[in-house]
Structure 1
Amino acid sequence: MVVSVLIVCLGNICRSPMGEAVLKEVASKRGLDITVDSAGTAGYHVGEDPDERTIATCRKFKVPINHSSRQVNKADFTRFSYILAADESNLRNLDSIKPRDATADVKLWGSYLDNKPIADPYYDSIGGFEACYHQCVNLSNAFLDKIAAKE
């Protein structure tokens, strides 16, 4: 079975597309075959590219990123094995729309490492985006370690 993961933040232009790109890259470097996507709990930016600072940060660290923003939908709860929220607010939003037939394991991404949320860098400088990147790398490795231990 291929593991499938949906990374979720609010608008799907900063944290979650970066998390998607980083998790794909870390898994690839580890030789793991997983499917990764990202979405937002809000539909503010549907169809938009990631924030230019998200793209610049991924380029700086040589992580490919190619994403068009979308909003979480009910089908995601059965299509993905794991839905990982960037912070507690997004986790609450996911829990509030989670259908009864959901099969995905819906958790705070930070629960795989230190229970810390990923701070939203949108109103921050490029330094906030780079901090987000490093946190995504650490969370990706912690998540993949736990998943590998289950298999």
Structure 2
Amino acid sequence: MAKSNAENSVSVLVVCLGNICRSPMGEAVLREVAKSRGHDIEVDSCGTGAYHCGEDPDERTVATCRKAGLCLHPFRPLEREDFDKFTHILAADTNNLRNLQSIAPKNSSAEVRLWGSYLDDKPIPDPYYGSSGGFERVYEQCVRLSNAFLDDVFGKPKPTSGL
């Protein structure tokens, strides 16, 4: 089945501060949820701070994602080109949203929003200083936010008949 031109042009950047917890998990979850719903979109993640440059995601992020069969990539910083490369830039929390809005080039084409604005306006809490249970809760929130984002962009999936 051919994808529409609009779908082919959807690209998403998930952003948090360090790109080792929320954003790499969000990237992996959004990619998988989109795939399971039949959408072929580009998804990446990055951090606004260079605290973990070159590092792999937090081991608790890796463990949580591994349980779901999801793959992750090492840290990458936000780049100026991202504001034109991606159609949507999704901030994990309001601090990162404000940072993104303050550094976005005036003529950038990306829509920059709090990811939670697609569902309940809640930020994704940073699980870094907590237990592994916080990472599980972030994973569940990313699943809900991924579905809400895709519902907004592509419409809600049609119910399937229960044959």
- TM bucket (normalised to shorter chain) is over 0.9
Question: Any unmatched runs of 5+ in structure 2?
Answer: 156-163
Matched, 1:37 2:44: yes
1:130 matched residue in structure 2: 136
Contact kept? 2:46, 2:76, Cα under 8 Å: yes
Matched, 1:76 2:54: no
SS state at 2:43 partner: strand
What CA deviation, in whole Å up to 9, does each residue of 1:59-91 have, x standing for no partner? 1222x2221101111100000000000000000
Question: Any unmatched runs of 5+ in structure 1?
Answer: none
Supply the distance in 2 between the matched residues of 1:17 and 1:145 (Cα, whole angstroms). 21
- Identity, in percent, stands at 66
AA aligned to 1:7 is: V
Supply the distance in 2 between the matched residues of 1:103 and 1:50 (Cα, whole angstroms). 29
Q: How many residues align?
A: 149
Matched, 1:86 2:106: no
> Which has more radius of gyration?
2
Structure 1 stretch displaced more, 105-114 or 41-50: 41-50
Supply the distance in 1 between the matched residues of 2:111 and 2:72 (Cα, whole angstroms). 25
SS state at 1:83 partner: strand
- Paired residues for 1:129-148 under 5 Å: 129-148=135-154
Q: TM-score of the superposition, structure 2-length normalised?
A: 0.89
- Paired residues for 1:2-13 under 5 Å: 2=8, 3-13=10-20
1:67 to 67, 73, 76: 73
AA aligned to 2:25 is: M
SS state at 1:144 partner: helix
2:34 matched residue in structure 1: 27
Q: TM-score of the superposition, structure 1-length normalised?
A: 0.96
Q: Which runs of 4+ in 1 moved over 2 A?
A: none
2:158 matched residue in structure 1: none
SS state at 1:42 partner: coil
